Amino acid sequence: MSALSAFFPSAAPEAQRPATRDTPWLRWSLTGVALLFVAGFLVIPLTAVFAEALRKGAEVYWAALVDPDALAALRLTLTAAVIAVPLNVVFGVAAAWAIAKFDFPGKSFLTTLIDLPFAVSPVIAGLAFVLVFGLQGWLPPEAQAELLAPAVARELAAIPGLGWALGGLAEWLANPRIVFAVPGIALATIFVTVPFVARELIPLMQAQGNDEEYAALTLGANGWQTFWRVTLPNVKWGLFYGVVLCNARAMGEFGAVSVVSGHVRGETNTLPLHVEILYNEYQFAGAFAVASLLALLAIATLILKSLIEWRLTLNREQNL
C-alpha cells in the first residue's frame, strides 16, 4: 500500500471511482448537451406545431381539418402511399432477394441504382418526370393518349356498370395526364421511396446466408415454396420495418411531389403541399392544424417503428 501510493500519489482520492466511469461533471455536461439538443431540435418544434394549431381553439382546428381541400389532400396523400408502398414492397423484396442470394453480372450496378433516390435531390427527380411527360417532354400528353388507345378506354367506359365501376379511371384513360395529375404524384412518390424496403432487407438477407434455402432445396421444396416458407418468414420483421419507413416517406414527401403536382387545389395537392399553400396565404392556424395531422402520422409511425425494432432486436438476439 505504502509503496504503491508513493508511486501513484494522485491515485488515492480517485481510486473510489471505477475505471469505466467518467467524472461526474463530464457525465452531466455530456448528458446536458444531448438533452438540450433533443429539446431544441425535436421537442420544442413539435410542441410549437400543436400549440400553433390549437391557438385559435379547437373549432378552428377542426374546421381546418375538415375543409374540403384538406380532405382532398389527405385522400391524395393516402392514395399515393397506397400505390407506392405495395409496389415498393414487391420491388424491394425482389431486388433484395436477387442481390442477397444470387451472383450475377451488374449486381453492384443494381445496388447503386437502388440508392440513387437517396443521392438525387427529390426536386430533380420531379423535374425529370416533368421533362419526360410534360407538354414539351419526350412523351407529351397527346402521345400518352395515343399510347393508351383512348378508343378502347371509351368503349370500356361505355359498358354499363363497368364504366361506373371504373369511374375516374375510364375518364382518365380517355384523357390521360401524368404530370400535374395523380399518376405523376404516384410516380414521384414511388421514385423517392424505392430504397427503403430493399435497403432494409439486403443486409438482413445477406447476414442470413443461403444455407436455409439450400436445406429447403434438399428437402424437396421448389423455388416458390422456398421463398414463401423460408426466405420471406425469415425477413418478416425487417420487411415490416422497411414498409413503415417507406410509408412515412411516401406520406411526407414534398420536393419531388411539389414539382409534378401543379398545385391544383382539391385535386393535386398532397398534405405537405397543402400545408405550404395555407402557410403562404397567412392561414397559420390552418397550416399548423394540417401540419399537426402529419406530425401525428409521424408519431404513429415512430411508435410502430420502435415496436418493430424491439421485435427485430429480439429476433436477432435469438439468432445468435
Partner 1 sequence: MSITAKNIKKTFGRYTALDGVSLEVPTGKLVALLGPSGSGKTTLLRIIAGLEFADTGSGGIFFDGEDVTQVPAGQRGVGFVFQHYALFRHLTVAENIAFGLKIRRRSERPTKKAIAEKVAELLHLIQLEDLGGRYPVQLSGGQRQRVALARALAIEPKVLLLDEPFGALDAKVRKDLRRWLRRFQDEIGLTTIFVTHDQEEALEIADEVVVMNNARIEQVGAPQEVYDRPTSSFVHRFLGNVNQITLPWGGLIDGSTAHVEDGVAFVRPHDIELVHFSEDRDGEAAVVYDIHAAGPVARVSARREGNNESVEIELPRSQLALLRLVEGDCVLLRARPKHPPVSEYAI
Of the ranges 46-54, 89-97, 224-232, 263-271, which one interacts with partner 1 (CB under 8 A)? 224-232
Q: Among residue numbers 230 through 289, which ones bind partner 1 (CB under 8 A)?
A: 230, 233-234, 236
Q: Please state the closest distance from residue 204 (CB atom) to partner 1, in A.
A: 12
Q: Is 132 in the site for partner 1 (CB under 8 A)?
A: no
Report the b/e string of 178-198 with b at 16+ CB within 10 A: bbbbbbbbbbbbbbbbbbbbb
Among 229, 303, 306, 313, binds partner 1 (CB under 8 A): 229
Q: Please state the closest distance from residue 254 (CB atom) to partner 1, in A.
A: 39
What is the greatest pairwise CA distance in the chain?
A: 103
Q: What is the 3-state secondary structure (H, E, C) of the chain?
A: CHHHHHHCCCHHHHCCCCCCCCCHHHHHHHHHHHHHHHHHHHHHHHHHHHHHHCCCCHHHHHHHHHCHHHHHHHHHHHHHHHHHHHHHHHHHHHHHHHHHHCCCCCHHHHHHHHHHHHHCCHHHHHHHHHHHHCCCCCCCHHHHHHHCCHHHHHHHHHCCCHHHHHCHHHHHHHCCCCCCCHHHHHHHHHHHHHHHHHHHHHHHHHHHCCHHHHHHHHCCCCHHHHHHHHHHHHCHHHHHHHHHHHHHHHHHCCHHHHHHHCCCCCCCCCHHHHHHHHHHCCCHHHHHHHHHHHHHHHHHHHHHHHHHHHHHHHHHHHHC
Q: Please state the closest distance from residue 317 (CB atom) to partner 1, in A.
A: 9
Of the ranges 29-37, 166-174, 220-228, 287-295, which one interacts with partner 1 (CB under 8 A)? 220-228
Cell digits of residue 254: 414534398
Q: Please state the closest distance from residue 15 (CB atom) to partner 1, in A.
A: 40
Among 2, 16, 20, 218, binds partner 1 (CB under 8 A): 218
Residue closer to partner 1 (CB basis): 44 or 215: 215
Residue closer to partner 1 (CB basis): 62 or 214: 214
Q: Among residue numbers 193 through 212, which ones bind partner 1 (CB under 8 A)?
A: 211-212
Q: Please state the closest distance from residue 202 (CB atom) to partner 1, in A.
A: 19
Q: Is 319 in the site for partner 1 (CB under 8 A)?
A: yes
Q: Is 216 in the site for partner 1 (CB under 8 A)?
A: yes
Q: Please state the closest distance from residue 97 (CB atom) to partner 1, in A.
A: 17
Among 225, 263, 296, 303, binds partner 1 (CB under 8 A): 225
Residue closer to partner 1 (CB basis): 62 or 228: 228
Residue closer to partner 1 (CB basis): 210 or 301: 210
Q: Is 36 in the site for partner 1 (CB under 8 A)?
A: no
Q: Please state the closest distance from residue 108 (CB atom) to partner 1, in A.
A: 16
- C-alpha 151/C-alpha 146 separation (Å) is 9
Which stretches of the chain bind partner 1, using CB under 8 A?
A: 211-212, 214-222, 225, 229-230, 233-234, 236, 318-319
